[in-house]
Structure 1
Amino acid sequence: MQHVKVKVYTTPNCPWCRKAKSYFRELGIKFSEVDVSRDPKAAEELVRRTHQMGTPVIQIGSQYIIGFDKNKIDSMLGIN
C-alpha cells in the first residue's frame, strides 16, 4: 500500500489537518508534513498548483485532495 508518496499541507490550528494525519497514522501510511504557515514558499507553490488557500491539502503521488476526504483518500490508496 505504501508505494506512493503522501504529503499533508497543514497549519497548526487546523482540526481537519489533525484528522487527516491521524487517519494516515491509523492506516500505517508514512507521510511528510508541510506547515504552510511556516513555509511561505510551500504555501505559494500550493496555491499555484491547487488554487486553494485552505488546509489540509493532501498530495498522494501527483494528485491533490482538498480537505480531509476519507473516500477520496481510500480510493487513491486502493483501500476498499
Structure 2
Amino acid sequence: MKQKIKVYTTSICPYCITLKRFLEGRNIEYEEIDASNSEEIQNLIIEKTGKMSVPVVVFNDTWVQGFDRPKLIELLGLSE
C-alpha cells in the first residue's frame, strides 16, 4: 500500500499554496490538515519539528518543515 502524504497548512500561508501547487502539478495526492484553529495539531507540529511553522509535509514518518523543494524531491522520489 502506498504511504499517504500529509500536508499541514494554514489558510494565510503563501508557502502552503506554493507547496500544494508543487504537489498538484505532479499529480501527487495528499491529505491537507489545517493547523489554524487546532491547538492539538499545533502542539504536534512543535513536538515533531521544534517550532510551529507551516507548511509541513509528513511522508514515511519524516517531517519536512517549509517548502524545501530539493528535500521534497528527494523524500518523494521525484525527478526535477
TM-score (norm 2): 0.89
Q: How far, CA to CA, are the matches of 2:3 and 2:75 in structure 1?
A: 10
**Aligned-CA RMSD value:** 1.4
Aligned to 1:66: 65
Specify the alignment match of 1:39 in structure 2.
38
Aligned to 1:8: 7
**Number of positions where the alignment pairs a residue of Structure 1 with one of Structure 2:** 79
Q: Which residue of 1 aligns with 2:18?
A: 19
Distance in structure 2 (CA, Å) of the matches to 1:54 and 1:45: 11
Q: Which whole-Å deviations, capped at 9, do the CAs of 1:22-49 have from their partners, x for residues lacking one?
A: 1111111100111111222111111111
Letter in 2 for 1:30: E
Structure 1 unaligned residues grouped into runs of 5+: none
TM-score of the two chains, using structure 1 as the length reference: 0.89
Q: Which amino acid aligns with 1:55?
A: V
Segments of structure 2 that go 5 or more residues without pairing to the other structure are none
